Each structure stands twice: as structure tokens, then as C-alpha cells.
Amino acid sequence: MLALGKLLELTLAGFEPAAKIQLTPEGARLRWLAEGALEVTPSVASDNGLDLLLSAGIHGNETAPIELLDRLLRGIARGELKPRARILFLFGNPPAIRRGERYIEQDINRLFNGQHEQHAGVEAMRACDLEHLAATFFSKPERTRLHYDLHTAIRTSQIEQFALYPWQEGRPRSLRELARLNAAGIEAVLLHNKSSITFSAYTYTQLGAESFTLELGKARAFGQNQEVNLDRLEQRLQHIIEGCEPEPQEQDAELRGLQLFAVAREIIKHSDTFKLHLPADIENFSKLPVGYLLAEDLAGTRWVVEEPDARIIFPNPKVKNGLRAAILIVPAKDVQLA
């Protein structure tokens, strides 16, 4: 197998390869760009016009997606996967991956869309580097752009595999991409309704890609992801890479069973007095009754559930002041699709 196909090994060792470019027997080019960053370019005759960015390890302890990207890249390097798309593989936060920790100093997935300019430290520098790598990769005109940023969650979820779809004013959601996610085993999609500072929001709003954050189960250490079943996603990614996806006969039928949610409110932690009135082990997508006191903060600030059919995701009272401590969501209605 080509040495550059072992990007995860190189990243874990903190090793920069001497040979930066290698070719597969089929003529695909593997090019090492930076730590945790490798570009795959198919032969000119094979190229189908898709630019695919696959990122994982933005949070260093979310290892199942890292292992998935490692398997895909090794398959390409061995000649088992024959790419027709350009692909950029990114392991987002190498120091955190090596430590097996969510981050070193600050959550890198809150440092995009200009936020890294307001901070110092390794994560801020890496967020800047990731933006540049993505912008360079997506700079070729007249090509289709797709980004999956793969994660696992801090806690268990009643809906285990779900996606977050960024928002941009006046831009409809893609029915084709929702059907593709559903075919990949994604059970629900959360439709954001305002700008965000995540990696997928950056590539969506600034680079014009169809971009998604994928939550794929609970975060576990390397080698302990047997309970995280990514078979459908892995098969779909293989099909995307090789340009052999089965086309749905009826896209509406393909969406049958896919649940769409909208953000009702974000719960922002303003001070150290913040209290989140939820059980420590509450699962993502747990339903909350109308009238439930969700959280309190200084100056008598209270968040009370007012929305029927409300659910909670990403509750985390330990975030830094000024950041989101939870999201209250409701079933989406009147979604603009194209």
C-alpha cells in the first residue's frame, strides 16, 4: 500500500513524509498537503467533476469517523477504491487526536467564519489553516462541491445518526442531498435558521459547497467503536468516491422516514451562575413538555419551554461563557427545497 494512504498513522506519529506525492496503479494522485491533510486527484479521464471534502477529528476524541476516513483512504491507496472525484481528507485537530481529548484549549468547531481571528492558540491557528485548505480545494470553477464533517456526540441520542444543515439567506435546501443522506443511514436532519461558526457552515456559506455536520453515534476511544454502525454511510461514501451512486427513482420516496427539525432557540451560557435543569444523562432528542424550566442564568434570565413537540440536543453546561449550552428544536414545517 502507498505510504501516503497511511495518513492516520502519519498524523498520530506527528510525522511529515519525505515523499509528498504518490500515484496509484490506476493513475490517481495522492498528495500530502499538511499535517492531517491529503488530496486525492483522479486521472483526467476518470474525473467526474465532483470535489468531495471529508473531514473528521475536529474533536480529537471522536474516533469512529476518523477510523472511517482511514479505511476509505487505505482502500484508495491499495487500489480497491478507484476514485472519480477529487477528495480532500482532513483530520481536523491532530494534537487533540493524539491526546484522545475533545480539544486542547478551545473548541475548534466554534472558531470558523472569522472567529479564529479573535483568538490565539493552537485551535485558532488550525481553524485558520483548515479554512485555507478548504478554500484552495474548492477554488476550481464549474465543479460540484460537497463537504461532510463527521463527528460523534458527547452523549447518546434517541436518534443516533443525524445531520446538521447550515443556513444561508435565500438559499434553498437540496432535495438531492437530503435523499443522499437518507440513503447513507441518516435518520434526521436539523435545519439551522441563522449563520453559524462551525466548519460546515464556513464551507457552505463562504465556499458554496453543500455541507453537513454528521453526528454518527457516541464518542468512544480508538478501537472501541463496535457499537457505532457506519456500514450504510461507508457504502454510500464508497459509491460517491467511485461515481457509481444508485440514482433514486423517486426522491420523495427516498425521504420517507427522514425527520426534519428546525431550531426553535439556542440556549446561550452567559455566566458561571448558569444552570441547566436537565438530568446529566439526558439523551439528545429527548422531548420536553411545555412549561418546563430548562435553564437559568444571572439577572433572573430563565429559559422556559414554550414550543409544542420541543426536543433538546447538545446540552452541555460546561461550555465557556458566551457559547451555546443547548439547542431547543421542533419539527420543521414549510421547508424550501430545490
Active site residue 245: no
Residue from 155, 269, 270, 166 nearest 215 by CA: 155
- Torsion angle, alpha carbons of 207, 210, 215, 219, to 10: -40
Q: Which of 39, 160, 210, 215 is catalytic?
A: 215
Q: How far are the Cα atoms of 45, 90, 183, 244, 297 from residue 237, in angstroms, in the given order?
A: 21, 15, 11, 10, 43
Q: Is 151 annotated as a binding residue?
A: yes
**Residue 183 near residue 175, CB atoms below 8 Å:** no
Q: How far apart are CA 76 and CA 26, in angstroms?
A: 10
Rounded to 5 degrees, φ, ψ at 8 are -65, -45
Q: Is 147 annotated as a binding residue?
A: no
**Residue 70 near residue 7, CB atoms below 8 Å:** yes
Q: Is 277 annotated as a binding residue?
A: no
C-alpha cell at 74: 487505505
**Residue 258 near residue 188, CB atoms below 8 Å:** yes
Q: What is the DSSP letter of 108?
A: G
Point out the residues that are catalytic: 215
Annotated binding site: 59, 62, 151
Annotated binding site for Zn(2+): 59, 62, 151
